[in-house]
Amino acid sequence: MTGHISTRLLTIVDALPLLLGMRVLEIGCGPGSAAREIARRIGGGHVVAIDRSQKAIAQAVVSCHEEIASGALSLRHAAIEDFELAAGEPLFDLAFAIRVGALDGRHPEAGAMAMARIAALLKPQARMFIDGGDPLRELPIPR
């Protein structure tokens, strides 16, 4: 099943520095439109899409069925502040979040916790992007 992706989300995905084989973390995936498009573009890579909403994850399970079945995408019900990799699971090359309050300045305390968690999930050279730029802006990773 291929789902629709809005022009706005497509512009954001187009702006991400995606490469074949990457591991990508989407924080706040909603129904999975961006995750599905990224999984299609990164070849042998893998997208892990998380959301704190169980309803959003349930929607994404349906809309991303093909990508999940192929092994290109996995979904997890988690807030970024609490998200942990499974034992032996590799770190991410890139992370991004669209309309996530903990990362866009609306909730500074949650943002500090989220960025510390993100830093622990990313490879040393990895990059983190959020919406709010033209169309994205890069956040510095606390190291």
**Which domains are present in the chain?**
7-135 (3.40.50.150)
**Confidence at residue 3, expressed as pLDDT on a 0 to 100 scale:** 63
CA angle in degrees (0–180, nearest 5) for 54-26-100: 70
Q: At residue 135, what is the residue type?
A: P
Dihedral sign, CA of 53, 32, 2, 85? negative
**Confidence at residue 1, expressed as pLDDT on a 0 to 100 scale:** 40
> To 10 degrees, the CA torsion angle through 114, 23, 41, 5?
-30
pLDDT tens for the chain, residues 1 to 143: 446 899 999 999 999 999 999 999 999 999 999 999 999 999 999 999 999 999 999 999 999 999 999 999 999 999 999 999 999 999 999 999 999 988 888 888 888 999 999 999 999 999 999 998 899 999 999 87
**Torsional class of 139: left (φ above 0), alpha (ψ -120 to 50), beta (otherwise):** beta
